[in-house]
Amino acid sequence: MNVLIIGSGGREHSLVQKLNQHHHDVHVAPGNDGMEEATMVDIPETEFERLALYAKEEQIDWTIIGPENPLSAGIVDVFREKGLKVFGPDEAAARIEGSKRFAKRLMKAYDIPTADYEAFTDVQAAHAFIDEKGAPIVVKADGLAAGKGVVVAATTDEAKTAVSHMLEGDQFGSAGHEVVIEEYLDGKEFSLMAFVDGEHVYPMMPARDHKRAFDDDEGPNTGGMGAFAPVPDLSEEKVRFAVDEILFPVAKAMQEVGRPFQGILYAGLIETERGVEVIEFNARFGDPETQVVLPLLENDLIQVIEDLTNDRDPHLEWKEGACVGVVLASAGYPGPYEKGNTLPPHNSKSGFVTYAGVKKVDGSFTGNGGRVLMAGATGASHEEARIRAYEELEPFADNDYFFYRTDIAKKV
């Protein structure tokens, strides 16, 4: 089939690679220079009318939306109005990611386990709540903030500063005009994505990513420095709880509140002393989890979508073994970093590379983003996959312009 992917990061490159395995003709808008397996479409992901026109003119069978911003802005609504087949939630359903307050209210109303919270638009009221609850405590911008709108505050002063920056300092624009302050949850995090259409929910394999920039979970939070799947220390009982008591009830709740969900529902979860609880929901494929989950999926992704949207069980099948992926980032990330530094020549050995922030200049790739690429591999075990993934990164060792963690999946 003709498939159009909207987006430009590593997640979208992983989708391109997965679709290529099953011989689909893949277009990507706007993509990046590393996605050489696809037809590049020079249309920004924000120009919905132009994208829809392209899909009509090129007789695209399915469009898959990668990033959260177009989903929250209603790209699916535009495509559907024009009679185009598109996979992802409409604007109303994407609110489960676009507003943390909405998501928390939904969970509270339907008894879905999550941290206690309050939402605020007034700085003084928020500060008083922080004094009452103490630290550690979590401060979140209500809206989309490119993965940067969450502060895990170790002290009340740190939490108050975060609130002031969001509500008074306009740190995240309109996304931070309301804040959600919630109880800090301690435990092991994991991610669980699912194909969802209304109340039909088909969970994928759990994954775990590494958020901190440096080894041993040191340094600032990032969008993810690596990931692995499956999660061996996660019991089947807890996965079943997450599916039965979180994913299914949320899909049903969205249906009941008039926001039926179709697309990928991503649950960011944590194992606490009370059991599995929700940290957040996303309305799309996760990044970097997608890059380690899709290589283990045996099914043709388009067939899964066709089955799902036609009330058929897609019968998801998974490869034995594991997948590990390690992110190469620009020096300085997640803070200020340089663009334009040339990547050393690198050829895939027994693994794969998904490109995120790259540009091709005079035949060579240069860094064009904070997260540059992910090197990954599958294997019979996590250790085998890990060794193969790091072999892919050997050309980048001791490079002043780029860095990567050396301990991804090491503790598995």
Q: Output the tens digit of pLDDT for each of the chain's 412 residues.
A: 999 999 999 999 999 999 999 999 999 999 999 999 999 999 999 999 999 999 999 999 999 999 999 999 999 999 999 999 999 999 999 999 999 999 999 999 999 999 999 999 999 999 999 999 999 999 999 988 777 788 899 999 999 999 999 998 888 888 778 999 999 999 999 999 999 999 999 999 999 999 999 999 999 889 899 999 999 999 999 999 999 999 999 999 999 999 999 999 999 999 999 999 999 999 999 999 999 999 999 999 999 999 999 999 999 999 999 999 999 999 999 999 999 999 998 888 789 999 999 999 999 999 999 999 999 999 999 999 999 999 999 999 989 999 999 999 999 8
Cis peptide before 89 (omega within 30 of 0): no
On whether both 304 and 334 belong to a single domain, the answer is no
Cα distances from 195 to residues 113, 211, 245, 257, 350, in angstroms, run: 21, 24, 16, 20, 29
CATH number reported for the structural domain that contains residue 73 in this entry: 3.40.50.20
Looking at residue 342, the DSSP 8-state letter turns out to be B
Position 171 scores a pLDDT of 81
Is 103 part of any domain? no
391-394: long-range pairs with CB below 8 Å, 24+: 391/349, 391/350, 391/351, 392/326, 392/346, 392/348, 392/349, 392/351, 392/352, 392/353, 393/326, 393/328
On whether both 303 and 344 belong to a single domain, the answer is no
Task: Extract the tokens encoding 225.
Answer: 């420095």
On whether both 192 and 166 belong to a single domain, the answer is no
Asked whether 119 and 104 are in contact (CB, 8 A), the reply is yes
Q: Left if phi > 0, otherwise alpha if psi is -120 to 50, otherwise beta: which for 226?
A: left
pTM of the model: 0.95
Is 167 part of any domain? yes
CATH number reported for the structural domain that contains residue 395 in this entry: 3.90.600.10
On whether both 359 and 257 belong to a single domain, the answer is no
On whether both 333 and 397 belong to a single domain, the answer is yes
On whether both 330 and 387 belong to a single domain, the answer is yes
Q: Which domain holds residue 192?
A: 188-308
Is 116 part of any domain? no
Position 410 scores a pLDDT of 95
CATH number reported for the structural domain that contains residue 132 in this entry: 3.30.1490.20
Q: Interior CA angle at 291 toward 250 and 80, to 5°?
A: 55
Is 15 part of any domain? yes
CATH number reported for the structural domain that contains residue 283 in this entry: 3.30.470.20
Q: Is 164 helix (H, G, I), strand (E, B) or coil?
A: helix
On whether both 211 and 303 belong to a single domain, the answer is yes
Position 27 scores a pLDDT of 98
Is 102 part of any domain? no
On whether both 275 and 199 belong to a single domain, the answer is yes
Is 47 part of any domain? yes
Position 172 scores a pLDDT of 81
On whether both 274 and 335 belong to a single domain, the answer is no
On whether both 162 and 207 belong to a single domain, the answer is no
DSSP H helical segments within 248-300, as ranges?
A: 248-256, 289-293
pLDDT tens track for 325-382:
999 999 999 999 999 999 998 888 789 999 999 999 999 999 999 999 999 999 999 9
Is 271 part of any domain? yes
In the listed set 257, 279, 308, which residue is the last one of a domain according to the structure? 308
- The amino acid sitting at 1 is M
Looking at residue 185, the DSSP 8-state letter turns out to be -
Is 39 part of any domain? yes
Q: Is 333 helix (H, G, I), strand (E, B) or coil?
A: coil
- Residue 2 burial by CB count (10 A; 0-12/13-18/19+): exposed, middle or buried? middle
On whether both 268 and 297 belong to a single domain, the answer is yes
Number of domains in the chain: 4
User: Within its chain, how far is the Cα of 225 from the centroid?
Assistant: 12
Residues 6 or more apart in contact with residue 236 via CB below 8 angstroms = none
The Cα 390–Cα 388 span in angstroms is 5
On whether both 214 and 294 belong to a single domain, the answer is yes
Position 169 scores a pLDDT of 83
